[in-house]
Amino acid sequence: MSIPTDASGSFRRRGPHFTDRIVAEPEGDGQWPVEPGRYRLVVSLACPWAHRSLIVRRLMGLEDALSLAITDPIQDERSWRFALDEDGRDPVLGYRYLEEAYLARDPENGLENGVSVPAIVEESTGLLVTNDYPQITIDLGVEWAKYQRPGAPTLYPEGLRDEIDEVNEGVFHDVNNGVYKTGFASTQNAYENAYTALFARLDELDARLENQRYLVGDHITEADIRLFTTLARFDAVYHGHFKCNRQKLAEFGALWAYARDLYQTPGFGDTVDFDHIKRHYHQVHTGINPTQIVPLGPEPSAWLEPHHREELGGSPFGDGTPPEPLAGPLRPLPPLDM
C-alpha cells in the first residue's frame, strides 16, 4: 500500500476527486437530484470516513431510500473490492472493484486521487456520483429530509452550524487525520509533531466534555459522529499500530465515558465491527505490520460499561426517537486463516 508523504516525511491525505452533490433541488452542473432507489452507498466497515455515512444513513432511517454495499476490509492492488459478495461481484452494480465506478465516470482521470470510501454510485449507470466524504453525511442529514424516518434527529441544526464547523475543523486535522499523520509519518520529526497535536486536541476535547454531554448543543450532531468513528478505532488500532501510545482512550476520563455513551446509542455501536477494523489495518498496512498478525484485543465488552453521561442532561435524539434495532451484524467475516 503506497502512503503519500511530503519531503518532510509528513502524511498528506488526498482530497476527494468527485465532489458532486445529491440535493433536494438541483440548480446546475455538479448537482444530482435526491431520488429513492437511484443510488447505492458503498462503504467499508473498517474505514472511519465511510463509517460516518453508515451511522447517518441509519440515524436518518434511509435504508429503503439508499441501498448499501459493503466491501471486503482487505484491499489489494486495485483497492476496495466486493470479495464478500457471491462470485466476488456487487449484486446491484455487477462490479468486482469499486474502481470500476470511478473509471465509468472518468476513464482518464478517475483514479487520480485513488479509490476511497464512502462513495455513492448511480445504480442504473454504474457511474460514481461522489466520494466527498465530509459533504455526503451533511447532505444525507439535510437534503434527504423528505425520505427520512419520523423522529430522525437534526444532525446539522442551522443555529449551531458555525460551532459544529469549527469543532469539526480541529478534530479533522488533529484527530481524524491526525492518527494517520502519526501512523504514516516517515520521519521522527513528522511523527512527533503529529503525535503532539493529536494528544493536545484529545486533552482539549476531554476537558470540553467534562461538563457537557455532547460536543455541540444538547443532542447528537454531525460533530459527534465525526469524532466517534476515530475514537471507536483508537484502542483497537491507533494506539499500537499507529504509535498513538501516550495513553489509551480507556485511560481518559470524560472522553472515554463520552465514547461509551455514543457506542451504547442506537446507530453507533451497532455499526461498529471490530473484526473488519482490525483485519483491515493489520493485514493491509504491511509496511507497519509485515507479519499481518491480527491482535485479539482489546475486549469489546468494556464499551458496554455504564457511562453515567445522562447526568449531564441532554438526550441523544433531542425531540426525536432512536432508530429501530438492527436484525443482526452488518457483514460478518469468515474465521481468520490459522
pLDDT tens digits, 246-283? 999 999 999 999 999 999 999 999 999 999 999 999 99
Is the predicted pLDDT of residue 338 greater than 60, yes or no?
Answer: no
Is the predicted pLDDT of residue 2 greater than 80, yes or no?
Answer: no
Whose grid coordinates read 467499508? 44
Residue range(s) in the chain whose domain bears CATH number 1.20.1050.10:
159-312
This prediction has a pTM of: 0.97
Q: What percent of the chain has pLDDT over 70?
A: 99
d(CA 282, CA 51): 18
Residue 180 vs residues 91, 205, 210, 290: alpha-carbon distances, Å: 33, 19, 26, 18
The Cα diameter of the chain in Å comes to 55
The amino acid occupying position 182 is: T
Torsion sign, CA atoms 43, 46, 47, 52: positive
The stretch 208-225 carries a mean pLDDT of 98
Residue range(s) in the chain whose domain bears CATH number 3.40.30.10:
21-147
Could you list the active site residues?
47, 180
Q: What is the pLDDT of residue 337?
A: 77
Torsion sign, CA atoms 239, 240, 243, 245: positive
Q: What is the pLDDT of residue 4?
A: 82
Q: What is the pLDDT of residue 313?
A: 96
User: 331 falls in which pLDDT band (50, 70, 90)?
Assistant: very high
Q: What is the pLDDT of residue 286?
A: 95
Is the predicted pLDDT of residue 59 greater than 80, yes or no?
Answer: yes
The amino acid occupying position 217 is: G
Residue 334 DSSP SS3: coil
Was 256 annotated as part of a binding site?
no
Beta pairing class for 128-130 and 119-122 = antiparallel
d(CA 221, CA 294): 33
Is the predicted pLDDT of residue 3 greater than 90, yes or no?
Answer: no
d(CA 236, CA 308): 23
User: 212 falls in which pLDDT band (50, 70, 90)?
Assistant: very high
* 134-184: pLDDT as tens digits: 999 999 999 999 999 999 999 999 999 999 999 999 999 999 999 999 999
d(CA 163, CA 216): 7
The stretch 118-138 carries a mean pLDDT of 98
* 220-248: pLDDT as tens digits: 999 999 999 999 999 999 999 999 999 99
Residue 62 vs residues 53, 54, 283, 312, 322: alpha-carbon distances, Å: 11, 10, 32, 30, 13
Contact 124, 101 (CB under 8 A): no
| Domain 159-312 CATH (choose: 3.90.1150.10, 2.40.30.160, 3.40.50.720, 1.20.1050.10) | 1.20.1050.10
Is the predicted pLDDT of residue 1 greater than 80, yes or no?
Answer: no
Helices (H) and strands (E) in the chain, counts: 10, 6
Is the predicted pLDDT of residue 194 greater than 60, yes or no?
Answer: yes
Contact 179, 202 (CB under 8 A): no
The stretch 290-312 carries a mean pLDDT of 97
d(CA 253, CA 312): 14
Q: What percent of the chain has pLDDT over 90?
A: 95
Q: State the distance between the two ends of the chain, measured CA to CA, in whole angstroms.
A: 24
Contact 314, 109 (CB under 8 A): no
The domain made up of 21-147 is a member of CATH 3.40.50.10540: no
